[in-house]
Amino acid sequence: MQMSLSIPVEVSFTLPVTLQGSTLHDLQRDMRREVRQGLLAALRAAIQQVEKALLSAPVECPRCRRAMRSRGRTGRRLVTVFGSLDLQRARYSCATCRTVRRPLDEWIGIVGTEYTTAVREQALYLTADLPYERAADVLRHVGGIGISGRQIQRLLEEESAHIEEALGAPREQGPGLRRRFRRSGKDGATAGAERVQQLRQLKTSGRWDEYWARRFRQERQAAETTPRRARPAR
C-alpha cells in the first residue's frame, strides 16, 4: 500500500557576531557549521516521523502473514551527507517463526554498511581522481563527513563487483595509476589500480547517476526481502 507523508522541515539558528572582531570568513564558516548541525537535526526528526508513519499499521510477518510483536528498540549508526546519526529503531518479531523485522531499516534500504548511498557515491566520485586519504580529507573539509582513507578503500572493494558488472571488461591500467599504486606490492598494484580504473571509467561513461540510482533500488529491495531470524531464547 502506497503511503504519502508531508514532513515540515525547519532549520533555524542564531549566530553571535562581533562587528569589530568578526569577518565575512568567520561568518561563512560558523554559518556552514550551524547549517550542517541544523540539517542533521532536521533529518533525525524527519526519520522519526517516517518510522512513526510506518508503525501506524500492524507490522506483518512476511512468512506467516500474522501481526508481529514489538520487541523494543535497537541502536544503529548511520553516516549521512549531513553527519553521523545514532538511531534507535523499533524491532518486531514473529512468535511463530521468530522472523525479525525493523521497518525503518527496510525503508532506509541499507544492508551491511553504515554509510548511506549518497555518502558512498560522493566518496567514490572523489576516489576516481584522488588517493584515498586525499579524498577523505576533502570530504571532511568540504562536506563535514568523517571517513578515513582506509574506509573509502573498503567501500570501493565492496562496490567493485557491481561496478565491473555494470561496465563489462576492465580497461588497461594507465601510467598515472601505476605510479599511484607502485608501493602497494603486486596484489595492490593489480587489484587496487584495476578497481580505480573501473571507477574512472564509470565516472566518464555518462552513467554515473543512473548507476547509483539502480544500486539504491537494489539495496532497498534487499532490505525489504531479507527478513532475519531471531536468536533462540536462553
pLDDT digits (tens, 9 = 90+) for 172-190: 555 555 556 554 444 444 5
Closest CA to 150 of 137, 132, 138, 131: 132
Q: Do the domain assignments include residue 5?
A: no
Residues of the chain above pLDDT 70, percent = 86
The 3-class secondary structure across 117-142, one letter per residue, is HHHHHHHHHHHCCCCHHHHHHHHHHH
pLDDT tens digit sequence for 120-140 = 999 999 999 999 999 999 999
Closest CA to 125 of 177, 200, 176: 200
Q: Do the domain assignments include residue 229?
A: no
pLDDT tens digit sequence for 29-57 = 999 989 999 999 999 999 999 999 999 99
Pair 77, 137 in one domain: no
164 pLDDT above the threshold of 70: yes
Q: Do the domain assignments include residue 210?
A: yes
Pair 73, 123 in one domain: no
- Cα–Cα dist 170/226, whole Å: 31
The answer to whether 110 and 76 have CB atoms below 8 angstroms apart is no
Of 41, 75, 108, which one is at a domain's C-terminal end?
A: 108
Which residues make Cβ contacts (< 8 Å) with residue 13, sequence separation at least 6? Answer: 34, 35, 37, 38
Indicate the pLDDT class of residue 9, thresholds 50, 70 and 90. confident
Pair 131, 60 in one domain: no
Q: Do the domain assignments include residue 10?
A: no
CA distances from 19 to 25, 60, 108 (A): 13, 59, 44
Closest CA to 63 of 101, 90, 91: 101
Pair 48, 121 in one domain: no
Q: Do the domain assignments include residue 224?
A: no
Pair 133, 193 in one domain: yes
The range of the structural domain enclosing residue 82 comes to 24-108
Q: Do the domain assignments include residue 13?
A: no
Pair 91, 165 in one domain: no
- The alpha carbons of the chain give a radius of gyration, in whole angstroms, of 22
Pair 126, 206 in one domain: yes
- Cα–Cα dist 31/218, whole Å: 37
The answer to whether 82 and 40 have CB atoms below 8 angstroms apart is yes
Q: Do the domain assignments include residue 83?
A: yes
Pair 137, 176 in one domain: yes
Number of domains present in the structure of the chain: 2
Q: Do the domain assignments include residue 94?
A: yes
Pair 134, 94 in one domain: no
Q: Which tops the pLDDT comparison, 51 or 113? A: 51
- Cα–Cα dist 104/99, whole Å: 16
Residue 20 pLDDT = 86
The answer to whether 149 and 136 have CB atoms below 8 angstroms apart is yes
Pair 123, 102 in one domain: no
**Sign of the torsion formed by the C-alpha atoms of 163, 167, 173 and 174:** negative
